[in-house]
Amino acid sequence: MKYGARNHIIGKVTEIKKGTLMCQINLQIPADSLMSSVMTLDSMHEMDIRPGDSVRVVVKAVNVLLVKE
């Protein structure tokens, strides 16, 4: 899959905090750094994202997008 965003980082899902409609997905990325992404619960379920998964973090402007391949 191709993306217009140039910044890609591979991260590991460390925690998922769920609300009623949205969730916060916390990630461990290289250089002992942490990142978070917020998405709908529907998106999380469609992508089948779970703690321990490896995901691609795609960063463009103020958006942080996760891609599970």
Look at the chain and report how many structural domains it folds into: 1
1 lies in a domain? no
Q: What is the CATH number of the domain that holds 31?
A: 2.40.50.100
- pLDDT at position 4 is 73
Distance (Å, rounded) from C-alpha 50 to C-alpha 54? Answer: 9
Whether the full predicted model's pTM is greater than 0.75, yes or no, is yes
Find where tokens 């009623």 sit.
20
CA 21 from chain centre, in angstroms, equals 16
Does residue 64 carry a pLDDT above 90? no
Tens digits of residue pLDDT in 7-49: 789 999 999 999 999 999 999 999 899 999 999 999 999 999 9
Is residue 63 in a domain? yes
